[in-house]
Structure 1
């Protein structure tokens, strides 16, 4: 935990299951984030997420060890029936969640009116990329923290922090999103379901793996996304990370399967005032959560106590490489050499 380190940012880790939650807390997470087993959260995969009893057990485990539980209600409510989102808010309060991660203004308004003491975090799905947008949510709905989309440069992050009183949380490690979060239309184009309200980039019912003479084809609702050699590693198929033929060349046309990794710039982000680092991966295993959390716990502790002697340890890099998409790391938008 970071309680004994002055001004240390929070380490916020993913929990797609009770086992993953326990692993994250025991490995040193300051907070974990989870979702219910429905479309109110943006990782609505079969076999993942929490029922009421599991939330209670997770909250008890976390609170007993000084950690917080954040509940993600970060999809956009159905205009025909916002009831599930409102009931999820009420449930989060009754189950003892420390804060909600919310994207929809209607859901925020319900929280403000019905549960005014409930802490609200602005989800990355809200796509708030400027301090003016973030200040709107603070003044109108009482939001106390904002999670920034993974499209801002270091200078832009610094400007946001300088001009808002809200705590700022950034992604530190995990899968990237090619879209400005909350505005994805790719999945809905192919399947009729958007991750903004259905909770998954590629609905399992639309995913097909088909054997072909040149390998294994990955399709999404009939759309050919990629073709893998028999011995080639293959990840969960999403349109933005498929390989397509463009001008006669087959390659990743939109986004390569690679993971964001900000360990190299961790001291700079802390110095500019980032209050929390989020690890992506509620759909990942408990082993992933435990190992990545341990690396980030050690890195944050060193960055906050080493007084200029911080360095990325080889064992940290090796561990994160094993869990990175395509075994590749990037600083993403934080490092744009052409700027």
Structure 2
């Protein structure tokens, strides 16, 4: 695998959480906190989407102890838009355990890392390898694709995962293990891409079994996924005459757990409306559409303005000065933007008449 490391030395991607090969050769070592934070953020999220969040988090909470001392609501608000909110809840649990049980220092081996909240086999291997240069096998989607093509593995994913992990483990060197792990991931992200891989400039061109038979674009094979069901729901945007918005915090467990959002109905095939307050409701002529991991969601958006003395059956009114649409989960922000756009359109129509 010398050819792969040579390629990585010349082509490593620059990322805010990464210590590149040149810096590592000079003795610089990655901060385990930054490695951990980036890996948690990157779960089911693209590098491009994560960079801004990572920079904001590390500016506001530069160490794991700083994050451990953060307010839950502040962390959830900064996370808003990244999705998979259980990651944010586990982020806080993990930071607090590292701060309290490990004196603010991440353990340097996978066995201890796996004991921390929110850290599974992949994340533990990534931290162990990248932060501490241990010969741990790191396997993400990019690595699976590289291994499946390098060895022409015909077994479809996800059934092929154990075989691909075993193949990746055989290639993991004792020296420069962290660089090797990042090299394979970079190769999959930039050269051995899902569509139209750039085989002619690949450092693993010669040993690649899939390329030899011309099937590289067909791999890895995947078992077809079942179609996602569609759920429906009602969502209610209420603003008092003093500008305060009615919001509720969702239960810690479950979808969007621990986040602030608009009151609404249960999301199901045939939901029942349940307005949180007596009001003159305006129904939007458009619906919010959003896709989660396991289902599509279509929301009917209703808006209302109420007096400053209005009492709500659920949620609490948040003063306008404390409200930030950016702190809402994406689906909630879509509803807000839809309602705001509809209100602006109504005002323009009113002025033109």
Sort the TM-score into its range (normalised by shorter chain).
under 0.3
TM-score when normalising by structure 1: 0.26
Q: Between Structure 1 and Structure 2, which shows a larger proportion of strand residues?
A: 1
Question: Which of the pair is proportionally richer in helix?
Answer: 2
- Work out which of the two has the higher radius of gyration on C-alpha atoms and give 1 or 2: 2
- TM-score, normalised to structure 2's length? 0.25
